[in-house]
Amino acid sequence: MYLSKLQLFQFKNHNELSLEFCNGINTITGANGIGKTNILDAVHYLANAKSYFNGIDSQIIQHQQTFFTIKGKFDGEMPAEILVQFESGKKTIKKNDKPYPRLLDHIGLIQTVFITPYDIDLVLSGSEERRKFIDLSLCQIDAAYLQNLSIYKKSLDQRNALLKNMQGRFIDPDLLGSFDSKLIPTGELIYAKRKEFIEKFLEFFVPIYKDLSQGKETPELQYESTLSEGSFADILYNNHRIDSAAQRTTFGIHKDDLQFNLDGLPLKKFGSQGQIKCFIIALKLAQYRYFQSVTQKCPLLLLDDIFEKIDADRAQRLIELVGETSFGQILITDTHASRVETHFSSIKAEKLHHQIG
């Protein structure tokens, strides 16, 4: 399945835009600030029912407008037309003119891998960004994970609301335990699936990073979770007093993290810009390979200004990896049409170029 046509209406800075794509390498070039990244984000939205950058749909509507629409035509083995519309606080997604009963039912139909300069937050920001990376990876291929993650978040909100309302006062252990019982089964399932994912993911990630860096460093990726220290039930029970004082749930899979190292040293503290960029690209290409291994299909690869802050050797090796025949449709943005043409000139694939602005 590949995207053959994209139509945007009042989406971010695009009042009305229609683009056609080939089942190969599609380049979108133009000056900064004209909305190249927003086009890729619209593709991500079509697949995942949300923006890659902004979780507040009302802020995605073009300024002074009241709604936005994204429409995508997908060709291939399972042709489909996907329509996303957000208006008056309500999001609707239709497949072939039929609305989904639940938005969650749409996720997983199309897998996407998005590489953008903003991904530097994966390394430099807090643990939430790294959990989002795991969740986005698993939600796109595992409906049970997506369902349990949704239940866990709702149960966590309810437990936190109770703790906040009590304002640090004593809470009946049985009452708090009833809220614990809603978190425990979903939390344990999420933990098990995350752990399994990281073990499989490393099989793809380590070789890709070494290939990109020409074997100069050894990457490490460690999954950190309080659930690795014991049962979730015991962890929650033993921390009732701490949670009551903090007025929130202080332990659980919502605190999980990934530790990124190079040669045993924290990437965030000791990595250069080039190493960090290389690490992120390797993460995303490993995500791509992981999707392939599970679905036996090629995800859509979205590459946003990938040549920024990466040296020429690593950039060329990236292109060689991307250009392998096992990759499917690629959408890539850049400010320089000539740079993209030079890097991809040796890649034998169908190509289509759009100059916007």
d(CA 203, CA 48) in angstroms, rounded, equals 25
Q: Which residue has tokens 């802020």?
A: 59
d(CA 46, CA 55) in angstroms, rounded, equals 14
pLDDT recorded at residue 325: 56
Strands (E), 76-163: 80-87, 90-95, 98-99, 112-115
Residues 200/289, Cβ–Cβ less than 8 Å: no
pLDDT recorded at residue 310: 67
Pairing of strands 25-29, 351-355: parallel
Pair of tokens at residue 243: 């949670």
Segment 300-324 mean pLDDT: 77
**Other CB atoms within 10 A of residue 22 CB:** 16
Please report which confidence band the pLDDT of residue 141 belongs to, taking 50, 70 and 90 as the band edges: very high
d(CA 302, CA 351) in angstroms, rounded, equals 15
Segment 77-89 mean pLDDT: 95
Q: Point out the least confidently predicted range of 26-30, 154-158, 287-291, 318-322.
A: 318-322
d(CA 282, CA 155) in angstroms, rounded, equals 34
Domain at 1-111+300-357: CATH architecture: 3-Layer(aba) Sandwich (3.40)
Please give the span between the terminal C-alpha atoms of the chain, in angstroms, as a whole number. 29
Please report which confidence band the pLDDT of residue 187 belongs to, taking 50, 70 and 90 as the band edges: very high
pLDDT recorded at residue 15: 96
For residue 149, pLDDT beyond 60: yes
Three-state DSSP class for residue 331: strand
For residue 324, pLDDT beyond 70: no
Three-state DSSP class for residue 347: coil
**Other CB atoms within 10 A of residue 355 CB:** 9
d(CA 243, CA 265) in angstroms, rounded, equals 33
Phi, psi of 163 (to 5 degrees): -65, -40
pLDDT in tens, 250-294: 999 999 999 999 999 999 999 998 899 889 999 999 999 999 999
Tell me the average pLDDT of the chain.
93
Domain ranges in the chain with CATH number 3.40.50.300: 1-111+300-357
Domain ranges in the chain with CATH number 1.20.1050.90: 117-296
**Other CB atoms within 10 A of residue 212 CB:** 24
CATH topology of domain 117-296: Glutathione S-transferase Yfyf (Class Pi); Chain A, domain 2 (1.20.1050)
pLDDT in tens, 8-50: 999 999 999 999 999 999 999 999 999 999 999 999 999 999 9
d(CA 146, CA 179) in angstroms, rounded, equals 21
pLDDT recorded at residue 84: 97
